[in-house]
Structure 1
């Protein structure tokens, strides 16, 4: 079965084997981050809607989880901001009621956590992974380029309130952009705010594939370790993706899986091998066919050749 709203499972650097749920159209988001691996936001919006049919998402989730797959998480993520979808709480509740064995994670930029309805919708999740890249307003605006009206102060206040109410785990991500938010002053400001929020873990991340703006470059490993040390506590640098065992797949299934992954973010062959658990020869053959058909294109970056959807 080809799914419209599910993708993967992928082997995530943070979450292990994860089935993804994508609730909004491509690049529908509250932010237009300069580093976003999905590219520039095409629909910058702060209003919540039922962007895709809640019932259809639930039907796909039900069909997939009924097979009892071996997963570490069912994760709301994808190519936009999942909390923009007004039915996310209903979908989370369905999973927890019908398939309580599965842990639910939500990856969010945190922009809407000041909204009581959004906080209520996420209460049954097991893990929420919000981001906070800057607390200084100027730096926040430069990096995250939010929907008009969203400020750094509001994001921090929403995160703080959510952390006080939420009974699950919170892993806070800080994405480092050299020359933007890596100064000692900004890191110390972040440290103070993070202490007030009180997340269970803090994860320091940087560019791993092409970002929205071509001039954005990754921070060095040494810089990331220094920042993690300054932030202290349970801060860690996000590591490599886990490795998953190669599973036999039909050719059509491989094509669908590759396209679903590449549509959401550019990938190298090694990315696809590590995240999808497919054999290298299988992936290479499929990529050649897709590129010849004009369905994907390749671009050389510092980390290698990336494939992205056309």
Structure 2
């Protein structure tokens, strides 16, 4: 029995999408206070080996065949790039003639070893949730030495050389990046990254809604403002 886990196949733009998590438990370079997975006991930014990769890959191939998936979305418990078999996992999927979408928080996309891996994917998602150094450290709790400046520049530099579709996901958080000054800063960041697509999200976990939720009216206003620059 492998360690990968899957979501129900769904249709997006007429294609069957299969989401796969390639980590047995949370491994991430951040430890965000609002993470739906919970606290990170494994805060890492270097690759690690995991057991049962052979059986996991066999299970993945079976899932692809049984679901007739047309797009594989690697959306993991944390940062998928830290699985030391991630490059091979992508190769297995690509060998079946299927496109790959990879979700990364984006910080590691500034490192050459991870750039090479991400470049194999047809789509890469990077994300941002805070825009000041203070908030980045306070609520995303990255590995020591990380900075918001390096975070943004990693995605900027990655997308300049990336030939696939770069998707930029912005999460609006009440009290952190929902004021006009923050929105203007997010516009500047988005223009710097120059993504092919922008997705606007909000904190949707019931545990954090009371403090971090953006109401529908304000969320719609912010979404229109940010999407207008694309």
Compute the TM-score of the two structures, normalised by the length of structure 1: 0.67
State whether structure 2 residue 176 is matched by structure 1 residue 177. no
Identify which range, 12-21 or 24-33, moves more after superposition: 12-21
- How many residues were matched structurally? 230
Tell me if structure 2 keeps the 8 A contact 1:134–1:190.
Answer: no
- Paired position in structure 2 for 1:153: 149
The CA distance in 1 between the partners of 2:121 and 2:163, in whole Å, is: 9
* Separation in structure 2 between the aligned mates of residue 216 and residue 40 of structure 1, nearest angstrom: 18
Is contact 1:50-1:87 (8 Å) kept?
A: yes
- Cα distance change on mapping 1:114 and 1:27 into 2, 3 Å: same
**How has the CA–CA distance of structure 1 residues 222 and 118 changed in structure 2, closer, same or farther, with 3 Å as cutoff?**
same
Superposition CA RMSD, Å: 2.4
Post-superposition Cα deviations, 1:30-63, rounded to whole Å, max 9, x if no partner, equal 1111221112222222222223454333222223
Structure 2 distance, partners of 1:112, 1:52, is 23
1:214–1:70 distance in 2 versus 1, CA, 3 Å:
same
Q: Mind listing any 5+ residue stretches in structure 1 that lack a counterpart?
A: 236-310
Distance 1:12 1:181, change over 3 A: farther
Residue deviations 1:52-105 (CA, integer Å, cap 9, x gap): 4543332222232234x33342111132211111221121112112x11x2211
Partner residue, 1:248 = none
Query: What stretches of structure 2 of length at least 5 have no aligned partner?
Result: none
Partner of 2:214: 219
Residue of structure 2 equivalent to 1:94: 92
With structure 2 as the length reference, what TM-score do the two structures score?
Answer: 0.88
2:189 aligned to 168, 190, 193, which one? Answer: 193
Once the 2 structures are TM-superposed, how far is the Cα of residue 156 of structure 1 from its aligned partner? 0.9
Map residues 1-310 of structure 1 onto 2, 5 A cutoff: 3-11=2-10, 17-67=16-66, 69-97=67-95, 99-100=96-97, 102-211=98-207, 216-233=211-228
